[in-house]
Chains A and B, each alone.
Chain A
Amino acid sequence: MSAVTQRLKAARPQLALLAVALLVNVFVAPGFLDLRLQDGRLFGGLIDILNRGAPVMLLAVGMAPVIATRGIDLSVGVIMAISGAVAAAGVNAGLAWPVAILAALATGLVCGLWNGLLVAVFRLQPIVATLILMVAGRGIAQLITEGRILTFTEPHLIAVAGSTLAALPLPVVLALAAAGLTGLLVRATALGLFVEAVGTNPRSSRLAGVHTGLVLGAVYVWSGLMAALAGLIATADIKGADANNAGLWLELDAILAVVIGGTSLYGGRFSIGRSVLGALVLQAMRTAILRAGLPPELNLVLMALVVAAVLTQQSPAFRPVATRLMARLKNKEAQA
């Protein structure tokens, strides 16, 4: 069996979930799957899901290795807000756009380094270590924006979210490229093995010579960088840095995406690709709920029900039942 088919096979539950979520979208909005090319850019429901899902995809790409080391990064939503604020304040202060963007990404690296230091060197529990930045970080972002929504008109910064590359919105390209790069980084080097080993048994890994501190630090730095990129996209999308709301609660979406992607919160095996699929499943469900025309009071209830259903479906006790159910649904889809 080739590596590709093996990976596709491993991702079957996530692919099935995504198929169901897309099916619901088709049901809610006929013509949802239509794609059309206009002015060199693809339009359609699928593109919307990719585009809107790009920030959480990026967060999930960073979060997956963190969770694989038995850690968690609660600060990614806040890092989004800080990096967006840095970029907006940068261009408004007259910095050239590449400098502002680099400064924003560097901010993410520094935030990640801070988390990594607390976890790897000072041995804080990851949930506590990243909670520090989660709580304090929004204040930092607000100091930068002075509590306002920092609007900007720098066209290149806006283009981070508003332009097209290879017929796709740039955020989609960026998220997929980051996922690809991360996948390459963990699987073409030994980092993936080290991450999984450290997450499964840190003591054995250290005795086998794995530099556990470096591995732990690196995953948080990478998570910070991914969050900064997500923050740039979110900020460019609304042409303004909203320190109060940018990335709010998205860390939870990212964690959920990684869990849907099949990574255990107890660490160990992880997959970048499946985590990305997890993020897309979430976004597809959100899109369906938003477009269903139901009273908004039901939004959270529906989301909660769907998530509960998804996670139950992944529980070992339920898996045989779910597999049969999915198979039947897929049959129906094929007939349709």
Chain B
Amino acid sequence: MAVTPPPVVLAARGLTRQYPGVRALDGVDLTLRAGEIHALLGENGAGKSTLINLLTGAQPRDGGTITMDGVEIDPDGPGGAVKAGIAAVYQEITLLPNLTVAQNLYLGREPTRWGLVHRSRMNQEGAALLRRFGLTIDASRPLSDFSTAVQQLIAIARAVDLSAKVLILDEPTASLDTAEVQTLFTLLRSLRDQGLAIVFVTHFLDQVYALTDRITVLRNGRLVGERRTADLPRLDLVAMMLGKTPTAESHLSRRPAAGIPAGAPLVRAEGLGRRRLVGAFDAELHAGAVLGAAGLLGSGRTETAMLLFGVETADQGQLVVDGKAVTLRSPRDAIRLGFGFCPEDRKLDGIVAGLSIRENIVLALQAKRGWWRRLSTAQQHELADRYIKLLDIRTPDAEKPIQLLSGGNQQKALLARWLATEPRLLILDEPTRGIDVGAHAEIVRLLENLRDRGMALYVISSEIEEVAAYSDRVLVMRDRAPAGLLEGDSITPAAIVNAIAADHHTRGAA
């Protein structure tokens, strides 16, 4: 059966966006066809958001062209993306909750009579518009009266009604329940059948396979490839996202410690979990061993760290430290037990920008000592200088504001913050994200060094080869629940990718 490919609606070629020091998007192509739902996939920092911002004109591009129906357009120029027929709906709904539904639908283009807003007509037309989207609601009520799901549908209705030919949905299902997701999918399929081109960004692979026709994968600002969904096995998709082919040989040799040390673990999580955050998982953390955690973005991998460090309090299972059950109500409880935590988002959760490198390094130790037992200025300098030297943090001196450091050096300073507390367990969430290659290797070596000196490490990473290289055990997370635990020789990048990609039918067997 010969299939004539549907006409191309939007073609982006060689899109490039440069940030200071980083090339966020590097010559990326995207082709959207009429009547298709196109998944745009990639891990954090892959460049999805930047690509969307270039298409909607939220940011100017530094290179590349965009054509709509064969005509070159300029989304950030006069006329803009909306006029060209590109509309976007974001995860955080950008409508105005205190206005009515109809006011939101017609904001900036209200029907008027004698120069005044024709309110009753606006409400009627709004209700009629929403009925076409399967929503029967009173459009004169304030938007905030409705659930997130309904607001999402209203946002889509507004976007499509703005004569959109291309509809971009950024994580539209993140805060919806299963039934709401189905409603949304029904709507999206009907929009597709009307000839719309839809870009669907998500981190739920099941939804990708349930809904989309075609997939574009980005990684580190580059295009990895475009495939038909039906032709791309799940395993290959995960491999594309993580940048590894499951069969390829790892260039990192496996250098784990002499296996899991005998004796009781330092920390044992038994069915630890929290409703709406992460399902019950087990984990054992031994001194001198690395537990790796792998999984895609949104798989629940970060959430395991939040429970282990008391950022969130578990509401099921138990945590045993030194053979005693403990409840962590705040990070301070965890720090008291000798835990440390380098979070994934360095800027938001890690560094205290504005304070000096010295102050950032001493912060955790000082907090552990309490406010009345201040480290003297001399002690602080000694500590900071020692770690700057030990970890080779590149800075002229310890008094520079920490935000002036490069990403890798900021990460080292955060490591220094925790090493200064002499922790027994160090939890690291994506310790090598956004760091240049040199610093990357240094940090991996440093982690191995710490393990060899008897520290327990819990390392969450989307760098599969790294995780495979230094972990003694690997916890694989998927859909906010554990999907498998790999041990010893079974730890290979391929096995990890397999565990991540396994669909519902094979999960039980893993």
A residues neighboring B (CB under 8 Å): 188-191, 193-194, 196-197, 200-201, 203-211, 268-269
Q: For window 326-370 of chain B, which residues contact chain A by CB distance below 8 Å?
A: 330-332, 335, 341, 343, 348-355, 359, 362-364, 366-370
B257 at the interface (CB under 8 A from A): no
Contact size class for B? Answer: 20 to 34
Q: Contact check, B371 vs A194: say whether CB atoms are below 8 A apart.
A: yes
Q: Contact check, B367 vs A209: say whether CB atoms are below 8 A apart.
A: yes
Given the interface contacts A189-B372, A200-B353, A200-B355, does A206 sit within 8 Å of B366 by beta carbon? no
Q: Which of A189, A193, A203 contacts B348 (CB 8 A)?
A: A203
Q: Which of the listed residues A190, A196, A210 has the most CB atoms from chain B within 10 Å of its own CB?
A: A190
B374 at the interface (CB under 8 A from A): yes
Q: Contact check, B332 vs A209: say whether CB atoms are below 8 A apart.
A: yes
Known: A190-B370, A201-B353, A201-B354. 20 other contacts (CB 8 A): A188-B374, A189-B371, A190-B374, A194-B366, A194-B371, A197-B359, A200-B352, A200-B353, A201-B352, A204-B351, A205-B367, A206-B330, A207-B343, A208-B331, A209-B331, A209-B364, A209-B367, A209-B368, A211-B332, A268-B355
CB distance from A211 to the nearest CB of B (A): 6
B481 at the interface (CB under 8 A from A): no
Chain B contacts of A210 at CB under 8 A?
363, 367
Q: Contact check, B349 vs A205: say whether CB atoms are below 8 A apart.
A: no
Q: Contact check, A193 vs B331: say whether CB atoms are below 8 A apart.
A: no
Count how many pairs of residues, one from A and one from B, have CB atoms less than 8 Å apart in the complex. 78
Chain B contacts of A191 at CB under 8 A?
371
Bound complex: CA of A84 vs CA of B409, how far in Å? 54
Chain A contacts of B367 at CB under 8 A?
190, 194, 205, 208-211
Closest to B370 in A: A190
Chain A contacts of B368 at CB under 8 A?
209
B162 at the interface (CB under 8 A from A): no
Q: Contact check, A197 vs B355: say whether CB atoms are below 8 A apart.
A: yes
Q: Which of B354, B362, B371, B417 contacts A200 (CB 8 A)?
A: B354
CB distance from A243 to the nearest CB of B (A): 36
Q: List 13 A-B contacts (CB under 8 A).
A: A188-B374, A189-B374, A190-B366, A190-B371, A190-B372, A190-B375, A193-B362, A196-B359, A201-B353, A204-B348, A206-B331, A210-B367, A211-B367
Q: Which of the listed residues B351, B352, B363 has the most CB atoms from chain A within 10 Å of its own CB?
A: B352
Q: Contact check, B311 vs A207: say whether CB atoms are below 8 A apart.
A: yes
Chain A contacts of B354 at CB under 8 A?
196, 200-201, 268-269
Q: Which of A189, A197, A269 contacts B363 (CB 8 A)?
A: A197
Given the interface contacts A194-B371, A208-B417, does A201 sit within 8 Å of B363 by beta carbon? no
Q: Contact check, B352 vs A204: say whether CB atoms are below 8 A apart.
A: yes
Q: Contact check, A207 vs B341: say whether CB atoms are below 8 A apart.
A: yes
Q: Contact check, A207 vs B372: say whether CB atoms are below 8 A apart.
A: no
Bound complex: CA of A94 vs CA of B373, how far in Å? 43
Bound complex: CA of A77 vs CA of B349, how far in Å? 36
Q: Which of the listed residues A200, A210, A269 has the most CB atoms from chain B within 10 Å of its own CB?
A: A210
Q: Contact check, B349 vs A204: say whether CB atoms are below 8 A apart.
A: yes
Chain A contacts of B417 at CB under 8 A?
208
Q: Contact check, A193 vs B351: say whether CB atoms are below 8 A apart.
A: no
Chain A contacts of B364 at CB under 8 A?
208-209
Bound complex: CA of A194 vs CA of B331, how far in Å? 15
Q: Which 10 A-B pairs have the closest CB atoms?
A: A209-B367, A209-B335, A208-B364, A190-B374, A200-B354, A201-B352, A208-B363, A210-B367, A190-B371, A190-B366
Chain A contacts of B362 at CB under 8 A?
193
Chain B contacts of A203 at CB under 8 A?
348-349
Bound complex: CA of A205 vs CA of B364, how far in Å? 8
Chain A contacts of B369 at CB under 8 A?
190
Q: Contact check, A205 vs B363: say whether CB atoms are below 8 A apart.
A: yes
Chain A contacts of B311 at CB under 8 A?
207
Bound complex: CA of A189 vs CA of B349, how far in Å? 24
Bound complex: CA of A189 vs CA of B364, how far in Å? 15
Chain A contacts of B332 at CB under 8 A?
209, 211
**Residues 210-226 of chain B: 1 if any A CB is under 8 Å from the residue's CB, otherwise 0?**
00000000000000000
Q: Which of the listed residues B311, B351, B367 has the most CB atoms from chain A within 10 Å of its own CB?
A: B367
Q: Contact check, B372 vs A193: say whether CB atoms are below 8 A apart.
A: no
Chain B contacts of A209 at CB under 8 A?
331-332, 335, 363-364, 367-368
CB distance from A229 to the nearest CB of B (A): 23
**Residues 111-146 of chain B: 1 if any A CB is under 8 Å from the residue's CB, otherwise 0?**
000000000000000000000000000000000000
Chain B contacts of A211 at CB under 8 A?
332, 367
Bound complex: CA of A277 vs CA of B17, how far in Å? 48
CB distance from A201 to the nearest CB of B (A): 5
Closest to A206 in B: B331
**Residues 17-59 of chain B: 1 if any A CB is under 8 Å from the residue's CB, otherwise 0?**
0000000000000000000000000000000000000000000
Closest to A202 in B: B352
Q: Which of the listed residues A209, A210, A211 has the most CB atoms from chain B within 10 Å of its own CB?
A: A209
CB distance from A107 to the nearest CB of B (A): 26
Bound complex: CA of A85 vs CA of B354, how far in Å? 42
CB distance from B336 to the nearest CB of A (A): 8
Closest to A3 in B: B377
Bound complex: CA of A104 vs CA of B82, how far in Å? 63
Chain A contacts of B353 at CB under 8 A?
200-201
CB distance from A257 to the nearest CB of B (A): 22
Bound complex: CA of A201 vs CA of B371, how far in Å? 18
Closest to A188 in B: B374
Chain A contacts of B359 at CB under 8 A?
193, 196-197
Bound complex: CA of A154 vs CA of B375, how far in Å? 46
Q: Which of A188, A196, A206 contacts B355 (CB 8 A)?
A: A196
Bound complex: CA of A188 vs CA of B371, how far in Å? 10
Bound complex: CA of A269 vs CA of B353, how far in Å? 11
Closest to B380 in A: A193
Bound complex: CA of A257 vs CA of B411, how far in Å? 38
Bound complex: CA of A207 vs CA of B341, how far in Å? 8
Chain A contacts of B349 at CB under 8 A?
203-204, 207
CB distance from A269 to the nearest CB of B (A): 7
CB distance from B154 to the nearest CB of A (A): 29
Bound complex: CA of A6 vs CA of B364, how far in Å? 26
Closest to A211 in B: B332
Chain A contacts of B309 at CB under 8 A?
207
Chain B contacts of A197 at CB under 8 A?
352, 355, 359, 363
Chain B contacts of A194 at CB under 8 A?
366-367, 371
Closest to A266 in B: B354
Bound complex: CA of A190 vs CA of B343, how far in Å? 24
**Residues 247-261 of chain B: 1 if any A CB is under 8 Å from the residue's CB, otherwise 0?**
000000000000000
Chain A contacts of B374 at CB under 8 A?
188-190, 193
Q: Contact check, B350 vs A204: say whether CB atoms are below 8 A apart.
A: yes
Q: Contact check, B352 vs A205: say whether CB atoms are below 8 A apart.
A: yes
Bound complex: CA of A309 vs CA of B368, how far in Å? 44
